[in-house]
Amino acid sequence: MPVAARLEKRIPLPDGVSARMDGGVLTVEGPKGKLSREFTDPTLRVSVDGREIVIHVDLPKKREKVLMGTWNAHINNMIKGVTDGFRYTLKLVYSHFPVKMSVKGTEFVIENFEGEKSPRKARILPDVKVSVKGDQVVVEGINKEHVGQTAANIEMATRRRGYDPRVFQDGIYIVSKE
């Protein structure tokens, strides 16, 4: 059975987006900002060839093919982030006690949840913008991982252990991802 000598994946850069590779760190710059990420592996290489980002490997095995797909997804997310950005929408659900939500510095504060005296807090990661509009919370940014983790932190801040979420539905939940 013949073995592929070289495998490469080319990712085209849209208009207005530039990329450069500096010692294993890929930097993608676009209209919304700039993202950098380290791509180092002894067998895989990432390079910028004109208006394309190229991931290539010599003598690929299953591990290298899988890692190539992962890097491809990360690079595509970086490109989408600097062109369109990412946006998660969360919704507050409560049955009895009115809840007050606010952003204070790098924390998202939830007051009077289930009538509790002390506020619950969720960490907001860097370069992520959180805004509250009524019972809606909007989390926006260019880094998909930071936006998703911040939305998860807010959702987990209202989690109640030992209660069935199908019955006790109070909380803040992710309703859409864009």
Is the pLDDT at 166 greater than 90, yes or no?
A: no
Question: Does residue 14 lie within any of the structural domains?
Answer: yes
Calculate mean pLDDT across residues 65-89.
Answer: 97
The CATH number assigned to the domain holding 27 equals: 3.90.930.12
Same domain, 102 and 78: no
Same domain, 72 and 90: no
What contacts 56, CB < 8 A, 6 or more positions away? 6, 7, 8, 9, 44, 45, 47
Are residues 35 and 81 in contact, defined by beta-carbon separation less than 8 angstroms? yes
Q: What is the pTM of this model?
A: 0.90
Residue 48 structure tokens:
């910028």
Number of domains in the chain: 2
Question: Does residue 145 lie within any of the structural domains?
Answer: yes
Segment 122-132, tens digit of pLDDT: 999 999 999 99
Ramachandran angles phi, psi of 128, nearest 5°: -120, 135
Distance of CA 176 to the CA centre of its chain: 14
Question: Does residue 131 lie within any of the structural domains?
Answer: yes
| Alpha-carbon torsion (60, 63, 69, 70), positive or negative | negative
Residue 87 structure tokens:
């946006």
C-alpha–C-alpha distance, residues 122 and 155, integer Å: 9
Q: For residue 106, give the 3-state DSSP assignment.
A: coil
Same domain, 101 and 50: no
Among the three residues 83, 111, 132, which one is the final residue of a domain in this structure? 83
Is the pLDDT at 165 greater than 90, yes or no?
A: no
Helices (H) then strands (E): counts for the chain: 2, 13
Across-strand partners of 145? none
Question: Does residue 1 lie within any of the structural domains?
Answer: no
Calculate mean pLDDT across residues 14-26.
Answer: 95
Residue 78 is part of which domain span? 6-83
The β-bridge relationship of strands 6-12 and 100-104 is unpaired
List Cα–Cα distances, 89 to 1, 56, 104, 130, in angstroms. Answer: 50, 37, 19, 10
Same domain, 99 and 170: yes
Question: Does residue 16 lie within any of the structural domains?
Answer: yes
Same domain, 74 and 147: no
Same domain, 104 and 160: yes
Among the three residues 83, 112, 144, which one is the final residue of a domain in this structure? 83
